């Protein structure tokens, strides 16, 4: 099922923290916007993504189910916000 | 003697050793109904908090419980890693460029399948679970020959680091006998896998050396170093800390990974792979 993430409001606090985490991880990288594709645009590689997943779990105070550890759920900060920080996530 | 003949001879010897030392994992081990709650399942010196004030703050019971969770985590990590490496080797076996090692790859796959089974069996029997795999599979390099080189390099790094733990635990008589034996059996097979892996990694590196711009080489170098750190950091699992009853598992993880008291251990665990990669000019001498 294709989810239209554009209609949902994002969790601004979570997005801000994730954006800052990425900026620190990439050191001199410019901040990403909410719709930057983190994988396709090479923002995070496979190793960095594992650390990022753990960070998202830390923000949620909850482990992410294995079924959701898939590229499509971590495509952008907006998608991550919708999937893991919305009332439905 | 040519490099290829040397490789052929090595692989022939490894195949012969695999045949000579073949075993049936389904009969090899004695699986007790349960393991003791008193005592360590993983050597205390291998616990992710060893040497830190965080360890000093735990009771003996807490440390025993942590050791149970960390051993299951270590074996779980092996299960997932073996899956990835088997898939990679399967994609190469009997394909162009891998004619020479393919026969040994059959033994390798056979033995790795055994390892995956007995590690998973331990996790399920005594831990009630296999810890989740938090990694996603996507390529960080577009070039197929770089991807292949990195895949085998990561396999080698994983085997070298795991072997450090295996050698330590197989000699620790304070651990349950089945834990000692699993580590021993794994080590016996991994000695051959590492010997093969070192030659294959060198062979694959020869295919890419001088082929790409310096910027790509730097990215490869960075990726290998980061993979070594990634592997070590994977042994700090907040899920294991949670199961061990430790509060704030993510804070526990962050504190331990960055604790200066852990640097010496990280250095010891990474010494062999770092030495190999540097000696073969697979890594730059300085970071």
Are the Cβ atoms of B135 and A49 closer than 8 angstroms?
yes
Residue B133 predicted with pLDDT over 80? yes
Q: Structure tokens of A58?
A: 């830390």
Are the Cβ atoms of B233 and A45 closer than 8 angstroms?
no
Are B269 and B191 within 8 A, CB to CB? Answer: no
pLDDT per residue over B68-81, tens digit each? 999 999 999 999 99
Q: Structure tokens of B225?
A: 């170093």
Calculate how close chain A gets to B124, using CA atoms only, in Å. 17
Q: Region B96-116: what's the mean pLDDT? A: 95
Domains of chain A: 16-84 (1.10.1200.10)
Sorted by where each begins, the domain ranges of chain B are: 12-25+34-129+139-279
What was the pLDDT predicted at A1? 55
Are the Cβ atoms of B136 and A54 closer than 8 angstroms?
no
What was the pLDDT predicted at A87? 72
Are the Cβ atoms of A70 and B223 closer than 8 angstroms?
no
Calculate how close chain B gets to A26, using CA atoms only, in Å. 13
Q: What average pLDDT is seen over chain B?
A: 94
Are B207 and B152 within 8 A, CB to CB? Answer: no
Helix (H, G, I), strand (E, B) or coil at B117: helix
Most B-contacting residue of A46, A60, A61, A72 (CB-CB within 10 A), to test interface: A46
- For chain A, give the longest Cα–Cα distance: 37
Q: Is A13 on the interface with B (CB under 8 A)?
A: no
Nearest CA in chain A to B248: A61
What was the pLDDT predicted at A28? 58
pLDDT per residue over B222-238, tens digit each? 999 999 999 999 999 99
Q: What is the ipTM of this complex?
A: 0.83
pLDDT per residue over B30-65, tens digit each? 999 999 999 999 999 999 999 999 999 999 999 999
**Percentage of chain B lying above the pLDDT 90 cut:** 90
Query: For chain B, which residues lie within 8 Å of any Cβ of chain A, measuring from their own Cβ?
Result: 132-140, 223, 226-227, 230, 233-234, 238-239, 242, 250, 253
Mean pLDDT by 10 residues, chain A (89 residues): 65 93 81 91 91 95 92 95 82
Name B25's Cβ contacts closer than 8 Å, sequence gap at least 6.
B114, B117, B118, B185
Question: Was domain B12-25+34-129+139-279 assigned CATH 3.30.1360.200?
Answer: no
Q: The tokens 């004619």 sit on which residue? A: B99
Give one word for B35, left, alpha or beta, with left for phi > 0 and alpha for psi -120 to 50: beta
């Amino acid at each position: 099922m294709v989810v239209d993430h554009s209609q949902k409001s994002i969790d601004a606090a979570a997005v801000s923290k994730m954006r800052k985490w990425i900026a620190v991880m990439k050191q001199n990288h410019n901040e990403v916007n909410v719709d930057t594709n983190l994988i396709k645009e090479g923002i995070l590689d496979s190793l960095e993504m594992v650390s990022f997943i753990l960070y998202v779990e830390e923000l949620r105070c909850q482990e992410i189910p294995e079924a959701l550890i898939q590229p499509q759920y971590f495509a952008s900060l907006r998608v991550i916000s919708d999937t893991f920080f919305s009332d439905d996530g | 003697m040519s490099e290829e003949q040397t490789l052929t001879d090595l692989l022939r010897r490894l195949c012969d050793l695999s045949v000579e030392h073949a075993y049936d994992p389904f009969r090899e081990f004695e699986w007790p109904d349960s393991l003791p709650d008193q005592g360590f399942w993983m050597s205390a010196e291998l616990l992710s908090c060893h040497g830190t004030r965080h360890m000093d703050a735990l009771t003996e019971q807490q440390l025993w419980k942590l050791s149970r969770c960390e051993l299951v985590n270590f074996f779980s990590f092996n299960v997932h890693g073996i899956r990835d490496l088997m898939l990679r080797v399967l994609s190469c076996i009997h394909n162009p460029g891998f004619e020479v090692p393919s026969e040994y790859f059959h033994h390798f796959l056979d033995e790795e399948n055994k390892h995956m089974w007995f590690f998973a069996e331990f996790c399920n029997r005594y831990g009630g679970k296999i810890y989740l795999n938090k990694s996603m599979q996507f390529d960080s390099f577009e070039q197929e020959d770089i991807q292949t080189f990195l895949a085998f390099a990561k396999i080698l790094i994983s085997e070298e680091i795991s072997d450090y733990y295996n050698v330590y635990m197989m000699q620790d008589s304070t651990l349950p006998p089945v834990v000692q034996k699993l580590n021993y059996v794994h080590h016996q097979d991994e000695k051959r896998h590492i010997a093969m892996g070192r030659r294959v990694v060198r062979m694959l590196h020869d295919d890419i050396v001088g082929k790409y711009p310096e910027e790509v080489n730097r990215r490869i170098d960075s990726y290998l170093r980061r993979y070594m750190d990634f592997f070590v950091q994977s042994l700090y699992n907040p899920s294991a800390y949670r199961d061990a009853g430790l509060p704030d598992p993510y804070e526990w993880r962050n504190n331990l990974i960055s604790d200066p008291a852990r640097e010496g251990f990280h250095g010891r665990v990474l010494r062999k792979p770092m030495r190999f990669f540097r000696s073969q000019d697979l890594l730059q001498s300085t970071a």
